[in-house]
Structure 1
């Protein structure tokens, strides 16, 4: 790395970290009022209050990282401009485009970091934060009765769907089991029953008044008073509800849940919107860096109130545009994966154009 790159990197990282700490501090302070209320209501102990703030940190980091990059880029170029360093570099034959390439590369690596936190750290901390708000930080016994119970068979291509399941007695109502092909793309057999019971001694499900339908048209539908298959051996405790919180799932888990919900005709719109955001939002830090560098190049008299104001407005403008397209995707007007990337493409084009037209 050349001396120039090390110098610019040092200034950018310093400005980015200062901006990140400032923005995260603002968000944390805004949550303290809620924490104080929970403490006064007796919902939180002091330990719970500390854990509540800690579990919010990944989400705050993800949300404010683009703003921190935007402000960090602008401050880096503005300070260099006010110290006449950019003019000196230009005089020595170094172009402005060469100067800004280092912050752009660093912003890309920051985006990769945000992507990692968003997929690996944030879902687990979101679960912990949710449990804290529900008062479930201490271990409690799982509910005996589960509604809309759902499970994919272990090491097999079949899915259970039950409207009600008692995990103690093993009794279930309105049961549907879907056997799928190896690619998990087409149903080969569907079993429906008004009720089913898990035989704990034989470790298998027994379906009462079962209707069996086959994808193969040569096989006629069957009605069996009691139907059992040894492969349906999944215990009631393993079942979950079909109402999942997308933010608590990793990308891999989101894809698997979407696949399974699609196979049984479930609504996957919310899951697809979250998946689109997981892929698109982390790279906002990289995309928005072009705007920050362009602003720093236009307002060369230091980090003035005007440049700071424009910086914040553009930063929050991205969030507004992002939220608008997310609403379009949620309502079915746009493909969720495409809708997640449209704001990025718009701001990337605007950022590159403004950077090209920058003062230097």
Structure 2
């Protein structure tokens, strides 16, 4: 590491940490009155209040780290510009991209830390905070479901239920599909008006049934149809519906996989997963803005640079929330909606970096 890189890295880390501590203090202080009220009302003990504050830190870190990177990079580079260090380095033949290389690299590693916190620590702390507030997390399976879907990979069967009541073990508008061993061709399609799961024999008893044997090209009707092939209990058609923010990334992936199998709604889970992979890198993306916009020192214009950077910083959050709503409403792919703000702001940042070269 050259002296320039060491100098830039040390100053950037110092400015970033000062900004981060300042933001954390502001957010913690803004929540203390609420915690004091919880303690005064008897909803928390003093020790629980302290634990609650500790569990707030991961959430605060996720929200303020991009702003801390933005403000830290602005403070560092603006100070260097005021001391004519940026002009001196450029005059000696060092490009602006080379000057900011190590702060940008550090911002990327900060993003990786945020990525880890977002996927592994934040869900645990959020769950703990809800428990301390007295918010119970439901762990009861839904009693009924519409458009139930299940794939039995062992027997190459697919179940589709228009409506299923788990408690009663009944279903309406049933369609059962049997496929060949390679899962490439449909061999049989069974359509039933109603069905009831017999818990003694562990089989479905179907009523008013049409059996379409596509393999042998024949069709049969039955008032009652029972087959050992269809043994999946009603409980397998529903899964727990848990707030995706309370799941680690590994748990969230498994939840989405289970919901896909049972035909559940995976939009919220996919949006959360998309944000888990995109939002942490806002710190890296936004560093280009702070470093480039603060590089030109104009007497009396530094306040305008700060206002512009803060405007762009909060503009990122607004844009991110807007695209997230599009993903939740099914108007955009969740991963695309998560990454578009990053791509847009990266383009803006690179433009300002290019302008800062001259």
Normalized against structure 1, the TM-score is what? 0.77
Q: Which residue of 2 aligns with 1:87?
A: 87
Distance 1:64 1:180, change over 3 A: farther
Does residue 36 of the first structure (1) align with residue 36 of the second (2)?
yes
In structure 1, C-alpha distance between the alignment counterparts of 2:151 and 2:281, rounded to whole Å: 36
Give matches, 1:282-301, under 5 Å.
Answer: 282-299=280-297
Task: Using the TM superposition, give the Cα deviation of residue 345 of structure 1 relative to its aligned residue in structure 2, in angstroms.
Answer: 1.1
Task: Using the TM superposition, give the Cα deviation of residue 152 of structure 1 relative to its aligned residue in structure 2, in angstroms.
Answer: 8.5
Task: Give 3-state SS (helix, strand or coil) of 1:298's partner.
Answer: coil
Task: Using the TM superposition, give the Cα deviation of residue 342 of structure 1 relative to its aligned residue in structure 2, in angstroms.
Answer: 1.3
In structure 1, C-alpha distance between the alignment counterparts of 2:153 and 2:46, rounded to whole Å: 44
More off after superposition, 49-58 vs 18-27: 49-58
| Match for residue 280 of structure 1 among 278, 281, 288 | 278
RMSD: 4.1
Give matches, 1:110-121, under 5 Å.
Answer: 110-121=110-121
Task: Using the TM superposition, give the Cα deviation of residue 77 of structure 1 relative to its aligned residue in structure 2, in angstroms.
Answer: 0.9
Q: Which residue of 2 aligns with 1:102?
A: 102
Distance 1:239 1:335, change over 3 A: closer
Q: Which residue of 2 aligns with 1:326?
A: 324
In structure 2, C-alpha distance between the alignment counterparts of 1:186 and 1:264, rounded to whole Å: 21
Which has the greater radius of gyration? Answer: 2
Does residue 147 of the first structure (1) align with residue 132 of the second (2)?
no
Equivalent residue pairs, number: 346
Distance 1:324 1:136, change over 3 A: closer
Give matches, 1:341-356, under 5 Å.
Answer: 341-356=339-354
Give CA deviations for 1:47-91 in whole Å, capped at 9, x if unaligned: 332232222221211111111111111112112222332233234
Q: Which residue of 2 aligns with 1:126?
A: 126
In structure 2, C-alpha distance between the alignment counterparts of 1:104 and 1:180, rounded to whole Å: 55
In structure 1, C-alpha distance between the alignment counterparts of 2:298 and 2:149, rounded to whole Å: 60
CA contact (8 A) 1:79 1:302 kept: no
Task: Using the TM superposition, give the Cα deviation of residue 5 of structure 1 relative to its aligned residue in structure 2, in angstroms.
Answer: 0.9
Task: Using the TM superposition, give the Cα deviation of residue 165 of structure 1 relative to its aligned residue in structure 2, in angstroms.
Answer: 5.3
Unaligned runs of 5+ in 2: none
In structure 2, C-alpha distance between the alignment counterparts of 1:215 and 1:248, rounded to whole Å: 45
Task: Using the TM superposition, give the Cα deviation of residue 196 of structure 1 relative to its aligned residue in structure 2, in angstroms.
Answer: 4.3
Does residue 307 of the first structure (1) align with residue 305 of the second (2)?
yes
Distance 1:184 1:284, change over 3 A: farther
Unaligned runs of 5+ in 1: none
Does residue 339 of the first structure (1) align with residue 337 of the second (2)?
yes
